[in-house]
Amino acid sequence: MTKQLTPKEIVQSFTDTFKTKIKNPRIETHAAGSKPTEFIHIWMNVDKSIFKEAVKHLTTLENYPHLAVASGYEWENTIELVYHFSIYFGERCKEISLNMTVVLPKSKPEIDSICDIIPGALITEQEKQEMLGVTVKGIPKDKRAFVSDDFPKGMYPWRKDETGASGKMVRNLHEGDK
Amino acid sequence: MSTKTKSKTTYQIPVGPIHPALKEPVMFEFELDGEKIVDVDVSLGHVHRGIEWTGMRRNPVQVLYLAERICGICSYCHPMAFALATERVAGIQVPERAEYLRVIHAELERICSHVLWAGVAAHEIGFDSVLFLTWQIREKALDLTEYLTGNRVTKAITMIGGVRRDITTDMHSTINEGLQFIKDNFEKLRRVYLDDKTFRMRSQDVGILTKEDALKLCAAGPTTRASGVRKDVRLDQPYFAFGDLDFDYVTPDVLTGEVNGDVYDRIVVRLLEVKQSVELIEQCIKQMPEGEIVAEPKVAKLLASLKKIKGEGIGRMEAPRGEVIHYVKYIEHEFPYSWKVRAPTYNNILPWIPMLLGEQIADIPIVAASTDPCMSCTNRVAIVDGGKRYQLNHEDLHKLSVEKTRRLMK
């Protein structure tokens, strides 16, 4: 086990390695309970060109970083993915959540697969392909996982533009059958 | 993932996806060589109901009730994880008393879930009398849930900034009585599940998940802890009042001195966690401070303030089956701009593959059930054999499993 870094050192190690490719890092401290117990959430924007390198860098901090899931949403002309990692679990109050936001242009929403580093990322990568229309380059299983095979191609339920779930596909049950 | 080692001697069995009793319908495609599983492929999404899509068109308080309906068993964890995420964005300070009340409800849910699972596991290997014994215990836990929240399943106890009902001192005797009943019966459960010879034969060295696989595949909850990974959000990042309470990670070596990562170990972890949950509730009742139970009791006022918040946050909670994580983003609007829900089974799907490889068809029910996904996806099994197609239903597959138990008992 490598030495555990403090939240500031973690952010420092990323900015030292990737310089300007890491933007807006912020460290949030939250507290709960009577004592209270504090814990840390780190957020940072990672440039898509070094995203995979950044995940590799994460494995130097923790042998097996845990990837909970990747969230995602459309924002103006971009698609933003937020990868939720956690490191240093296994000891009381030591775990740090690390959230990496990657901004992809809507014209070419491509991101590298990280399944070769974290095999458990497969399902969440499949989900981002189907729900947001992101292309995950090098995904080991390029098959639909959540939406059915007969769901229209080129339609992505989480998008808010014309490629999102359209009015026809939505049935408002409270309006009754029409 | 799937390595597809097809040959002339192997054949396929698709298992799933729909059964009326399913919590999470899943489709397995097994590649078999005789009785032995040589390859597994998993497909999901048969009941994708677009809950996240709907949630992005509802206000935060409405989302609580929507989130409650994601899962009938984790009907407390989901709204609570959403509330945690929202509170972090809005900077809402939850009153101390509410933090303790939140622990009590979370642990009661864990007891209900684990005991339910133990019953299902017994049923899967053909011990239906044990199913009734365990569900009798669960009934008491459900009565207690009803007493504390007013509901048995969808509890409707969550509110952003606290909880909706208090526990007063005159309620303590009923709570203690319920907990005492669970404790009195715990020894009976332990004897059946951990000492019984047939139970051990069906569960030991079956469905092994190594520690390395658990870490690589990002498994969650009792599934990963049974493989020796110390991972529990309650301890890793103590939310609610968990930081004030005295407890530790539950891994099978606590009881047996070793970690095998098999079905037996997953039973050990869950049973020990039932005991731990009872102790946690008792600690909360003793230590609970006086005070308010919700930060802002007026919902209209709360909603008005939530309309003005901007930012993103995550809420993480240790649900009975593992970590639940909700991500939410607000942009000074009535509805959340983005909402992502991740339930533990999402991460416990891929670990099924190493668990099932090399096992027998009759072991599919108990191995798949051991991660607590609700196993009943074995309803409809179509065997495609030499171009002929015939179906095995849930009952047939269950029968195979029961027959194996009976064979071992002889």
In order, the DSSP letters of A74-132 are EETTEEEEEEEEEESTTSTTT-EEEEEEEEEETTS-EEE--TTT-GGGHHHHHHHHHHH
A117 lies in some domain: yes
Residue B48's pLDDT is what?
73
Is residue B149 within 8 A of residue B157, CB to CB? The reply is yes
A80 lies in some domain: yes
Q: What percent of chain B has pLDDT over 70?
A: 90
Contacts of A43 in chain B (CB under 8 A): 312
Residue B388's pLDDT is what?
46
- pLDDT tens digits, one per residue of B36-77: 888 888 777 776 777 888 888 899 999 999 998 888 888 899
Residue B4's pLDDT is what?
53
CB contacts under 8 A, A 66-95 vs B, are 66-69, 71-73, 82, 84, 86, 89-95
B88 in reach of chain A (CB within 8 A): yes
CATH number at residue A95: 3.30.460.80
Q: CB-based contacts of A43: which residues, under 8 Å, 6+ apart?
A: A24, A25, A26, A28, A99, A101, B312
Least confident of B13-22, B315-324, B382-391: B382-391
Nearest CA in chain A to B53: A158
**Whether A71 and B340 lie within 8 Å, measured CB to CB:** yes
Helix H, strand E, coil C: the string for B181-239 is: HHHHHHHHHHHHHHHCHHHHHHHCCCCCCCHHHHHHCCCCCHHHHCCCCCCCHHHHCCC
Contacts of A89 in chain B (CB under 8 A): 230-231, 236
Residue A73 belongs to domain spanning = 7-150
Q: CB-based contacts of B72: which residues, under 8 Å, 6+ apart?
A: B23, B153, B154
Interface test with A, best of B310, B340, B341, B347 (most A CBs within 10 A): B340
Contacts of A66 in chain B (CB under 8 A): 215, 218, 231
B99 in reach of chain A (CB within 8 A): yes
A171 lies in some domain: no
A155 lies in some domain: no
CB-CB: which of A120, A146, A158 is closest to B44? A146
**What is the token pair recorded at B187?**
């020894």
Mean of per-residue pLDDT scores for chain B: 86
A14 lies in some domain: yes
pLDDT, tens digit only, all 178 positions of chain A = 568 899 999 999 999 999 999 999 999 999 998 888 999 999 999 999 999 999 999 999 999 999 999 999 999 899 999 999 999 999 999 999 999 999 999 999 999 999 999 999 998 999 899 889 999 999 998 888 888 788 888 888 888 888 887 667 777 777 765 5
What is the C-alpha end-to-end distance of chain B, expressed in Å?
38
CB contacts under 8 A, B 273-292 vs A, are 287, 289
B199 in reach of chain A (CB within 8 A): no
**CA–CA separation, B350 and B25 (whole Å):** 15
**Whether A147 and B289 lie within 8 Å, measured CB to CB:** no
A88 lies in some domain: yes
Q: Closest Cα partner for A54 from A21, A5, A26, A30?
A: A21
Name residue B276's amino acid: Q
**Whether B243 and A28 lie within 8 Å, measured CB to CB:** no
- pLDDT tens digits, one per residue of B358-405: 888 778 878 877 877 733 222 223 333 344 444 556 677 777 777 877
Residue B379's pLDDT is what?
26
**Whether B236 and A37 lie within 8 Å, measured CB to CB:** no
Total domains present in chain A: 1
CB-CB: which of A32, A84, A121 is closest to B325? A84
Q: Which domains does chain B have, with CATH numbers?
A: 11-44+349-409 (3.30.390), 51-334 (1.10.645.10)
A121 in reach of chain B (CB within 8 A): yes
> Reduced to 3 states, what is the DSSP secondary structure of residue A73?
strand
Name residue B160's amino acid: I
**What is the token pair recorded at B248?**
């530790």
Least confident of B114-128, B146-160, B234-248: B114-128
Residue B30's pLDDT is what?
83
A164 lies in some domain: no
A29 lies in some domain: yes
Least confident of A44-53, B6-15, B152-161, B298-307: B6-15
Q: How many CB atoms lie within 10 A of CB A19?
A: 10
- pLDDT tens digits, one per residue of B196-209: 998 899 899 999 99
Residue B384's pLDDT is what?
37
**Whether B236 and A35 lie within 8 Å, measured CB to CB:** no
A26 in reach of chain B (CB within 8 A): no
**What is the token pair recorded at B394?**
């849930």
Residue B387's pLDDT is what?
40
